[in-house]
Amino acid sequence: MKKSSNTRNQSLLQLGLFLGILIFTNILANAFYGHIDLTEDKRFTLTPATKKQMKELEEVVFIESFLEGEFPAGFKRLQSALHELLDDFKSISGNNVNYQFTNPLDGSPQQQAELREELGKVGIFPVNLQVKKDDGYSEKFIYPAVIVSHKGRSMPVNILENNTASLAPGQDQIVLNNSISLLEYKLTNTIKKLKSLHKSKIAITEGHGELQPYETARFDAALKQYYDVGRINLDSFTMVDARQYRLLVVPKPRTAFSDKDKFKIDQYVMNGGKVLWLIDRLSADLDSLRMVGEYVPYDYPLNLEDILFKYGIRIEPNIVQDLRSSRIPLQVGQVGNAPQYDLRPWYYHPIIIPAIDNAHPIVKNLDGIDFQFVSTIDTIKTKTPVKKTVLLTTSDKSRMQYAPTRLSFDITSEKPPIERFNKPHKAVAVLLEGVFPSLYENRLTENMGSMLQEIGQPFRPESRPTRMMIVADGDVVRNAINVKENKIQPLGYNPYERYTFANKDFLLNAVEYLLDTDGIIASRSKEVRLRLLNKPKAREEKTKWQLVNIVLPLVLLGMFGGVFTFLRRRRYAS
């Protein structure tokens, strides 16, 4: 009897210890969040720049997600990825990141309407999701967005890539996968901007026929969310201070730069300034062509060839034709007094899609970019070490027309000679990084020396390490204008295709990269590989995998039970 009581007490003690260890483990698990990333693509590992940003948080960042509710599996995956990322942020920041998930479809219809109006004011709009059911499809509004708040300021972040008004069934696992890949970058970048008390200054040049403010209004507005943006006329400055203006944007100049202006830009670069060149080499315009029927483009007299050559690139005097292009409406007939129009491919307006294997953060996961009358770019060997990265190229079915050449609409009325589109993958956007040589080394005039003396700045023959980007199409930054409604269209919106291309994302990514000193944009290169199920193979092997998943575990359990019973009997029989 005593032996039985001791055994029972020992069992109770073991049970108590087990429960105590279990409770203690759960307490530790709630207090500390962590995981081991065994995935091949390291999808759960934060970049060093992100970790640094989280560790440097001194005040709480609050993130409210509106991606909450019942979704199909793909959106559940996006929701889970966001939840895991926020747990990582919270753990690394020492609980300086708090979050909550809010279902915008909870509450009464009036409460939903009020929240929808509130979210619309900050730029968060619903996506119409079509959900497949047994009897067809049902529509549901979702809000794939978050609001990040820090130091009394808030910023909305749309976390769904290619965020269109409607997502049809199957559209698409690739979109969701890209969205998961960019979660870390979008949230970290937003937190970084909210942390900063001072906005970096960006200067857009004028005085050389550049695009007018209403033509770049959408680009300017997008920049002003994060930067202090203004226009400067180089004639009004003795020199451009690289410490004051961190980036210079040159949007489609059409008249000549004087040597004095080029010298100001040159020494701005030598002192570490960054430049985004958006240059048209030839004057080609669809409206001009419509008026006269045919057109011979001429060289814009920009006087920039020598400075760009010195920095390592040359914009060729040509115009690209590409079979991967957008369409324009052309009159094909007339019924009574009403002209009849048809959308025809216009090979001078190529749609440039970043190569799938291009992992550079400026262009990774981008949709097509709408170009107009673009030229090609050659890279040149420089005196100093300059790294040249081709960001965008034409398709594998492209060719060039060199000036002087005649443009007309004749090419739309006949089948294109595909065999002539044999100049594939020509560069149209190039990134330069490194130490740049000055154009004015051994060419410094007395007037230039006086300009430097006036501000107490020495002449620099070589630059500090810096960056610049050249795009051989100035119209890539120009937003369309709806003249009838007197309305500015979104940047990248093509009124003929009725589609918004990725021009805005491309340019904003470029600005982010040029100004990024913390390496945060590196997280844009993170790749979450999409491993889709082979549906035909799954159907063929359905029975096999049912047996593996249902019968095999029962067989193994039976074998384990048999071996365990046999060993137990043998032990106690002895």
Asked if the model's pLDDT at residue 173 lies above 50, the reply is yes
Please name which of 371, 393, 387, 546 lies closest in space to residue 475, comparing C-alpha atoms.
Answer: 371
Residue 527 has a pLDDT of: 60
Rounded to whole angstroms, the Cα distance separating 459 from 14 reads 81
pLDDT tens digits, residue range 211-228?
999 999 999 999 998 899
- Number of other CB atoms surrounding residue 114 within 10 Å: 12
> Mind listing the pLDDT tens digit for each residue in 398-407?
999 998 888 8
- Residue 233's SS3 state is strand
Phi-psi region of 448 (alpha: psi -120 to 50; beta: other; left: phi over 0): alpha
Contacts of residue 353, defined as CB under 8 A and 6 or more positions apart, other chains included, come to 324, 366, 367, 368, 369, 395
* Strands 127-133, 166-167: pairing kind: parallel
Q: Report which DSSP code applies to 49.
A: H
- Is the pLDDT at 42 greater than 70, yes or no? no
Across 394-398, 453-457, 529-533, 534-538, the highest mean pLDDT is recorded for: 394-398
Burial of 314 (0-12, 13-18, 19+ CB in 10 A): middle
Token pair in block for residue 466 = 């810096």
- Percent of residues, the chain, with pLDDT higher than 90: 41
Instruction: Answer whether 382's CB lies under 8 Å from 438's CB.
Output: no
Q: For residues 360 and 389, is the Cβ–Cβ distance under 8 A?
A: yes
pLDDT the model gives residue 434 = 96
| Per-residue confidence (pLDDT) for residue 171, from 0 to 100 | 47
- CA 185 to CA 202: how far, in whole Å? 22
Q: Could you tell me the pLDDT band of residue 194, with boundaries at 50, 70 and 90?
A: confident
Q: Tell me the pLDDT tens digit for each residue of 116-126.
A: 888 888 888 88
Q: Which domains does the chain have, with CATH numbers?
A: 33-195 (3.40.30), 201-517 (3.40.50)
